[in-house]
Amino acid sequence: MAPTKKTTKKTTAKAAAKRATKKAAEAVNEAENSVESVFARIQAGFKDAGAVLAQTGTIADEKRREILMTLIANAQENTDATFEAMRDVMIAESLTDSLRIQRDALREGIERNVAQVRSVASMTATGSRETIEPVADYLSSLRERVRNGANA
């Protein structure tokens, strides 16, 4: 009978070893799945962030073009006004008229430049807000996901 007990003990030990190996394999498989899940979420987050940054870049580019076109229009307006004033000075009938034209042109130029600077500054501020808005929305959504994950 003794030989039978040894065989049973060996069989039981082999079965226990197989169960332990199977449990270890399952644990490794579960860990791999967990790591893959984390990597997938990280990749999805990077894709989302990339899309938001692309959107921000598009908005920034549009606003930059709009501001540059405004600056070009302002430069043309100022140049036209300057040449018009120079023409008027040249055809003025007296020194008094010439000085008055110059004074008026200088005052109008200063007023025009101040208005142009205000306009461009306003466009820049608005463009900055519009450009950063997608990033702010994305960060808010991340904050909400974290809060919802913490409450779950």
Pick from 116, 142, 126: nearest CA to 59 = 126
Mean local confidence (pLDDT), 69-75: 97
Q: How far apart are CA 94 and CA 91, in angstroms?
A: 9
Q: Is residue 3 part of a domain?
A: no
Residue 1's pLDDT band, with cuts at 50, 70 and 90, is very low
Q: Is residue 32 part of a domain?
A: yes
What's the domain count of the chain? 1
Q: Is pLDDT above 80 for 85?
A: yes
Domain hosting 98: range is 8-151
- Encode pLDDT of 102-112 as tens digits: 999 999 999 99
Determine the pLDDT at residue 13: 76
Q: What is the 3-state secondary structure (H, E, C) of the chain?
A: CHHHHHHHHHHHHHHHHHHHHHHHHHHHHHHHHHHHHHHHHHHHHHHHHHHHHHHHHHHHHHHHHHHHHHHHHHHHHHHHHHHHHHHHHHHCCCHHHHHHHHHHHHHHHHHHHHHHHHHHHHHHHHHHHHHHHHHHHHHHHHHHHHHHHHHC
Mean local confidence (pLDDT), 109-131: 96
Is the CB of residue 108 less than 8 Å from the CB of residue 81? yes
Q: Is residue 79 part of a domain?
A: yes
Q: Is residue 1 part of a domain?
A: no
Q: How far apart are CA 68 and CA 105, in angstroms?
A: 25
